[in-house]
Amino acid sequence: MQKAMMKISARERRYLIAGGLAVAAYLAAVYVIEPLISSQFRVREEIGKRAALLERHQLLASEKDRYRQRVEGLKAQLHQVEALYFNREKLPLVAAEIQGLLHKLGDEAGLTIIRENVPPPKKVEMLTQVTVELSVRGEMRAIRDFLYKVHTAPKLLTVPKLTIRGTTSRAQPALMADLQVAGYTTGEEEKGSAVRTAPGKK
């Protein structure tokens, strides 16, 4: 009788096999497939975070490069502007340099400098203005060429005051011009630093 009970029909065997396969599939889904899918989701999420972080770093690097280029451009412009100023620690040396430059430009233009004077420097915003007062004699062409050379000099020079007049001497029909030529430096204004010179040689 026990042997009869242990006999399983073909249908029951198929049910048992199907049930075993279903249990195995369930266990595989629970212990193998589901953890694998969760791991893939975590990997994808981590990859997304890393990609966003990399994008932010790239954006910051791009901004940094743009700001660095802008800073370099501003530095270059600053150096160009600073090159226009007279770079001397002592203002009398600045005045002497301006006088030397004006004598050179006057010689090139064919002017005669008959008088020059250096009044005290004065502060103009963030710069110190050093002025040289000149009285020159020459033809109109020479005065014109001299003024052109002053305005195109390698250093920044301005002409705050200019007066041109004729002469009463028939022996010297040239014109006379009284003018102020100012140069600029970043040096500090010094009290009592006026420099007075003798009349020009030419």
Query: Which tokens belong to 28?
Result: 């595989």
CATH class of 91-185: alpha beta
Cα(194)–Cα(127) distance, integer angstroms: 17
> 10-residue block means of pLDDT along the chain (202 residues)?
53 65 60 61 73 80 76 72 76 91 94 93 88 93 93 91 79 81 79 47 44
Query: What's the predicted TM-score (pTM) here?
Result: 0.58
Q: Which amino acid is at 71?
A: V
Domain ranges of the chain: 2-81, 91-185
- Coil/strand/helix, residue 133: strand
Residues in the chain, overall count: 202
